[in-house]
Chain A
């Protein structure tokens, strides 16, 4: 009996232990950064953090910043940032950019020979599809909150979802259309179904979004819906085979009269209000008046290795001085091809013809076209004993002489601007186009670099225009468009110079102007005169004067495409534009190393679409790979 009691006690002790243990199997997160659905959607203030993620997942790459807790697997976290991938897929694949790095799958993009498992085409799909899921989850969950502010959140989430689907449709063609949270394998939607969804969503939310300018910076208002409709309709012929240029005109018009304005504040006083759009303080220096939808970056609080941090660092190499760009060094990667550079070429002859008749005074020297032997570069007579010339010079020296005879020549002994007969050679320090004046009334001269279109921001020193081999940074001109200095010349907020403040506009008013002009030219029924006025608005900002203005006779489809290059290069638009003109894959338009060939060759038209990730095709049997892959 005694033994049995002991036995019983042992069993009871065992059971007690076991029961208490069983409840311990129900563990829930104890990490202070881990939250539940109930936490996140408890009220509008908390839900704002979930909304912020919908924007942030296009700007940042994970929850730790600059790296850590990545959103996307299978690719370096810094590579997985949306606008960086957009650059890789829509700019690097075109005449706008080359990159020298040997990262997996990266050289394939400019060479137009990517495969169905390219790291970047895959990661972009993941990023965008994930953003759709984030938006779906937000829209589903936030519905329980009844605040009016939350109604605007939901409309913004729907805009972001439509924007994301626009990207998916543009890049990949036929992707699944998923509009609520589900784990079921989705079926493939056609581009028409996607188009109709995006269109109907945008039409519906245009009245749910806040009025123009009524939202805080960084969040979209109803103008964004109109702007995206403008893009959607402009590309409708490519996307669904049905032109919708009239609609493109209508919604471009809505945007143009919405209150958003082209930035004309030359905050840093350098003669143009264009470069302000790409400075560290572009969220407040005036440029923001033009930004309809922009990604916000901050060198301290929103850090990523993509975004503007990528655009600034990756563009710097060779003899470029990183300090001028507000960062601590370059990554020595990105450059451009001569196709883009040449779009900014100044027609020197036309400018000179406007100056006056040819004189016998000319420029001679190794900085001039024919060195010291002549024939000299003859100047135009602008007045009594005054002469001028727009001239393309190289670095070297020059003098003025009359009638190609050393008997009457002028140089400058003290480089003080006053001329001495038979004086010293005048140095020309850098190659470029110059405006040179000669005034024999008081024996003075000027030689000033000719700016022309200030949008062509290239670094040429130590670089070659032609590209012999892509890996060397010195091949091809470097691009100096994006900077991490503000309008006062100060570096952005990260004193270490690692991370950049500059925001990246995804849709800005200038693009809508160009949409309007193109849709009008394509028969959308717009006002051609208005189109010319709007384009001249952009060009006057670019030139700082009306030198570059066009007349309605100049406004052709070719002109608009080139103007889009000049205005919007490196802003993620080029591939889509080239496809609209059927230039992306065809032989019609070539650039260096198109199709992996030095002078460029056409490639198969199937490359107008990127492949769906092979991995996703394997995972979801409902999906059919795009043809050709």
Chain B
């Protein structure tokens, strides 16, 4: 794609060819290190618009060149090179791969610009810089790589979804996830049923670039869905040359890194003997079972990918096929994924019509191990054996109710029974395809018309089959099967015109205007076979549709590549909002100044110094339900009907309504400096921003006297994020054989809710029902911990049930809770390094996070003495019991600040080492090994200090893994 752009520019340039009498210069352009000929290199005669491109074999020729003329060679990802023509008219030019990619074309939404010409805050990460290691999810490729972008894996399950937040939390009720745009198709931000990760349909190996648009001046072109930033993912494209093939294969060995600290069987026995009644002591078993060892296992993952890239009948194309299979460390967890993609990008009609066809297909089979086993293994009595030959439940030990003879209905189910006797599987099929037509209008060559048609459809089938043998209090339980089908369709139609012209050789203008339409439709269908046998029709059908309609325009202007101005505007209308408030207009402005091009900077050591300033507005209703402004009645299901006489009637409930919903609007001001110096050995940027979200849509308290519920989504608040980002890349050593590069990034973000009329409880915990440990409150950071202040004795041990009476009314109740820290990091850092020596290369990725706090829900819920012997069953305790000594469950103890802990950390995520064998014919063979989740340094007592939103509750541990892989190019 980039190459085509350059190719087109080349064609354009040659159009105004001027004639002088001179010599024809010929030559070949090759890559410096390997000597591979480079096709598609752009060659321009300096100071003119004369130019050409190299052919497939790297050859070029330009006629009529004067002696003394200077040829400029440009190629993506390579340092620009100038060659002065003297007496040699047959050149052999070597281009050096540059660490700087100034001339890279960056896709910015409905168009692209040279990186050098960017005015907004945009990060580009190419495949070369992606994270190494066992990457199953696309998001993992960029974790820790970009300042201000925080990627947190949902859990350690294979292919698990990842939460990406860009510049903090932007919304309270709506989604905080960025908009993903894959090859120009904005994805629906709802999840896909039965899938662990909405990006699972992309094979990470197919991704060429990640472009992260962070500030509103960059994102405003995406209007209402760009409030939390935009991530543009572009897949690899075909190239107009001989077919090349890549095969890669890697095997991953997963093992558990750490387990939750619970009492051993001996410790537990001695505790029960001390505190238990005779009948409770009699419940003790004689075994010594480490339940966590029982449920976790070492696991293996395999990835195989094949891709072909080249030209077929003159059409550049790329095809890929990938197959991955990963087991989880929780017994029975498994992901199998097959992906395929084809890209064809022909150019027709004298290069006036460019067509880009992308088809991606995915088929995954998921087997979900029951995650109830994780919490079960922490608390299950370690003195009981997994199996009990007398058990009526397939031999699995179970706590029985003395009265009913069935499992005690308050007892946890044997974790191994959960893993072995429940079969939860789902298949997901997804197809994403688009066809993009760029037509440069004949006779109006400055004008390009683009039409992009896209279709994203997924279909999931899942079922959960529970064996009749599972321990349950239900005496009639005869096994069950629940299943679901989910379909979702997302249709895209974009059409826009782009006008590109240079006036007086100095004034460059690119203007784009267009229209976009997108519709999202889904239907879910759930079915309960056991209920069916009982004579009920447990079928839930859930259907919904919404439409987004937009107009947008953008103008980029620059004067001599020195002064840049960008203005965009987007008008969005969503069917989710009432007709009067449905249109939102989102403008943005940005300016940039390439200071290094000024004459006074001629002698400075800066290769680049650019100042950027931008302001923009974006809207948000992502995650808002459909139809909320309409009067609707919800019918009841068969289990919620009401009896009059002898008949049961379906009931109709008027739904909460808000006729006045309007767009949530985010306004960002951003100022930044890009720099590079010392022959581009050091480069980086620094940004400062203020992002205000106004008319925040949040679930707001309403007086039910005035509505049909006590909460509705309403525009009720404001929020602010302020931050600084700094990124630096350095190449301290760069010789022919030895190269060392470093990337360091750091970001500071401060979030504050600036207006919110009523508190919103957040962060449900596992103790009791309805206990929340966090709150959204005006003047505080979102999701702040809201807890009681524990009183400690002189030895520093917490005194049970004693809390500070903060409002001095001699009563300890909700009004004594206070704000104590929040789960979001104040400072995030990434430090990555690559070292290559001859054919060896080594990379290390590490991250640090400071000021993020965690509520240790496992300790709060399972570290309480009474739980050991409650309800005629024995349950193991979390080792925090030895610290707190807490004996009794209460809503206040669970909300003690004792359980809110500093979870700052330093992690080494990955260390990779590879060796590349070069052979003749440009074939390469690389062998590598890597280790993931190498080291965690933290004061936090729980399993992992990095859990999204700061509540550590039965977290699926992230495994440590070792990878061995090969990568062959031929």
Residues of A within 8 A of B (CB): 2-3, 6-7, 10, 13-14, 17-18, 21-22, 24-37, 39-40, 46, 48-50, 52-53, 55-57, 59-60, 62-66, 68-69, 71-76, 78-79, 101-108, 113-119, 126, 129-130, 132-134, 137, 176, 178, 182-186, 216-219, 283, 296, 298, 300-303, 317, 319-324, 328-332, 469, 471-473, 495-498, 613, 615-616, 618-620
B758: A residues at CB distance < 8 A: 615, 618-619
Q: Which residue of B lies closest to A34 (CB)?
A: B632
- Structural contact, B650 and A28, CB atoms closer than 8 A: no
B719: A residues at CB distance < 8 A: none
- A472–B887 Cα gap in the complex (Å)? 11
B819 to chain A, nearest CB (A): 15
A106: B residues at CB distance < 8 A: 768, 891
- A324–B579 Cα gap in the complex (Å)? 59
B705: A residues at CB distance < 8 A: 129, 132-133, 176, 178, 186
Q: Is B155 an interface residue (CB 8 A)?
A: no
Identify 13 residue pairs between A and B in the complex whose beta-carbon atoms are under 8 Å apart, listed by A's number.
A3-B441, A13-B495, A27-B626, A34-B633, A102-B768, A103-B768, A104-B772, A113-B812, A118-B814, A132-B705, A137-B708, A186-B703, A331-B409
- Structural contact, A498 and B474, CB atoms closer than 8 A: yes
A118: B residues at CB distance < 8 A: 813-814
A309 to chain B, nearest CB (A): 12
A257 to chain B, nearest CB (A): 25
B475: A residues at CB distance < 8 A: 328, 495-497
B443: A residues at CB distance < 8 A: 2-3, 6
B897 to chain A, nearest CB (A): 16
Q: Which of A33, A303, A471 contacts B888, CB < 8 Å?
A: A471
Q: Which of B546, B643, B707 contacts A27, CB < 8 Å?
A: B546
Known A-B contacts: A73-B709, A129-B710, A178-B705. Give 6 more (CB < 8 A). Answer: A27-B626, A53-B653, A71-B653, A79-B770, A300-B536, A328-B409
| Max count, chain A CB within 10 A of own CB: residue among B573, B634, B704, B705 | B705
- Say whether, besides A31-B544, A73-B711, A17 and B889 are in contact (CB < 8 Å): no
Q: Is B969 an interface residue (CB 8 A)?
A: no
Q: Which residue of A lies closest to B636 (CB)?
A: A63
- A114–B408 Cα gap in the complex (Å)? 33
- Say whether, besides A14-B515, A33-B634, A130-B708, A116 and B815 are in contact (CB < 8 Å): yes
B353 to chain A, nearest CB (A): 12
- A26–B401 Cα gap in the complex (Å)? 57
- Structural contact, B814 and A134, CB atoms closer than 8 A: no
Q: Which residue of B lies closest to A182 (CB)?
A: B706
| Max count, chain B CB within 10 A of own CB: residue among A36, A39, A496 | A496
- A60–B443 Cα gap in the complex (Å)? 71
Q: Which residue of A lies closest to B699 (CB)?
A: A73
Q: Is B477 an interface residue (CB 8 A)?
A: yes
A2: B residues at CB distance < 8 A: 443
- Structural contact, B706 and A184, CB atoms closer than 8 A: yes
Q: Is B404 an interface residue (CB 8 A)?
A: yes
Q: Is B403 an interface residue (CB 8 A)?
A: yes
Q: Which residue of B lies closest to A331 (CB)?
A: B410
Q: Is B779 an interface residue (CB 8 A)?
A: no
Q: Is B473 an interface residue (CB 8 A)?
A: yes
Q: Is B72 an interface residue (CB 8 A)?
A: no
- A64–B768 Cα gap in the complex (Å)? 23
- Structural contact, A302 and B650, CB atoms closer than 8 A: no
| Max count, chain B CB within 10 A of own CB: residue among A18, A27, A103 | A27
| Chain B, 865-891, CB within 8 A of any chain A CB | 866, 870-871, 888-891
B370 to chain A, nearest CB (A): 20
- Say whether, besides A3-B441, A329-B473, A63 and B635 are in contact (CB < 8 Å): yes
- Say whether, besides A104-B770, A300-B639, A328-B406, A34 and B634 are in contact (CB < 8 Å): yes
Residues of B within 8 A of A (CB): 401-404, 406, 408-410, 441-444, 449, 473-477, 493, 495, 497, 515, 517, 519, 534, 536, 540-547, 549, 573-575, 579, 582, 626-627, 630-646, 648-654, 699-711, 757-759, 761, 767-772, 811-815, 866, 870-871, 888-891, 893-894
- A13–B453 Cα gap in the complex (Å)? 14
- Structural contact, A27 and B575, CB atoms closer than 8 A: yes
- Structural contact, B706 and A102, CB atoms closer than 8 A: no
- A469–B887 Cα gap in the complex (Å)? 12
Q: Which residue of B lies closest to A629 (CB)?
A: B815
Chain A at the B interface: SS class: loop
- A56–B634 Cα gap in the complex (Å)? 13
A616: B residues at CB distance < 8 A: 701, 703
- Structural contact, B710 and A126, CB atoms closer than 8 A: yes
Chain B at the A interface: SS class: loop
- Structural contact, B410 and A329, CB atoms closer than 8 A: yes
- Structural contact, B442 and A3, CB atoms closer than 8 A: yes
- Say whether, besides A40-B633, A52-B649, A496-B476, A21 and B549 are in contact (CB < 8 Å): yes
- Structural contact, A134 and B654, CB atoms closer than 8 A: yes
- A615–B814 Cα gap in the complex (Å)? 13
A283: B residues at CB distance < 8 A: 643
B476: A residues at CB distance < 8 A: 495-497
- A115–B769 Cα gap in the complex (Å)? 18
- Structural contact, B704 and A329, CB atoms closer than 8 A: no
- Structural contact, A105 and B636, CB atoms closer than 8 A: no
- Structural contact, A117 and B814, CB atoms closer than 8 A: yes
- Say whether, besides A27-B545, A27-B546, A176-B703, A328 and B404 are in contact (CB < 8 Å): yes
B870: A residues at CB distance < 8 A: 332
A87 to chain B, nearest CB (A): 15
Q: Which of A25, A71, A101, A300 contacts B547, CB < 8 Å?
A: A25
- Say whether, besides A21-B517, A130-B704, A216-B645, A115 and B815 are in contact (CB < 8 Å): yes
- A620–B889 Cα gap in the complex (Å)? 36
A119: B residues at CB distance < 8 A: 770
A44 to chain B, nearest CB (A): 12
Q: Which residue of B lies closest to A184 (CB)?
A: B706
- A133–B452 Cα gap in the complex (Å)? 48
B512 to chain A, nearest CB (A): 13
- A184–B641 Cα gap in the complex (Å)? 32
Q: Which residue of A lies closest to B771 (CB)?
A: A104
- Structural contact, A74 and B761, CB atoms closer than 8 A: yes
- A568–B626 Cα gap in the complex (Å)? 47
Q: Which residue of B lies closest to A122 (CB)?
A: B710
- Say whether, besides A17-B515, A52-B651, A137-B654, A301 and B639 are in contact (CB < 8 Å): yes
B716 to chain A, nearest CB (A): 10
Q: Which residue of A lies closest to B650 (CB)?
A: A49
B633: A residues at CB distance < 8 A: 34-37, 39-40, 50
Q: Which of B495, B642, B699, B891 contacts A59, CB < 8 Å?
A: B642
B515: A residues at CB distance < 8 A: 14, 17-18, 21
A115 to chain B, nearest CB (A): 4
- Structural contact, A40 and B549, CB atoms closer than 8 A: no
- Say whether, besides A3-B443, A25-B549, A329 and B401 are in contact (CB < 8 Å): yes
A480 to chain B, nearest CB (A): 13
B772: A residues at CB distance < 8 A: 104
B710: A residues at CB distance < 8 A: 72-74, 126, 129-130
- Structural contact, B441 and A133, CB atoms closer than 8 A: no
- Structural contact, A303 and B639, CB atoms closer than 8 A: yes
Q: Which of A17, A130, A328 contacts B709, CB < 8 Å?
A: A130
- A184–B706 Cα gap in the complex (Å)? 7
Q: 4 shortest A-B CB distances, which residue pairs? A: A329-B409, A65-B640, A321-B403, A3-B443
- Say whether, besides A27-B575, A36-B633, A619-B701, A102 and B495 are in contact (CB < 8 Å): no
A103 to chain B, nearest CB (A): 4
| Max count, chain B CB within 10 A of own CB: residue among A64, A78, A328, A469 | A328
- Structural contact, A329 and B634, CB atoms closer than 8 A: no
B634: A residues at CB distance < 8 A: 33-35, 63, 69
- Structural contact, A65 and B639, CB atoms closer than 8 A: yes
- Structural contact, A30 and B545, CB atoms closer than 8 A: yes
A222 to chain B, nearest CB (A): 17
- Structural contact, A219 and B866, CB atoms closer than 8 A: no
B815: A residues at CB distance < 8 A: 115-117
A113 to chain B, nearest CB (A): 5
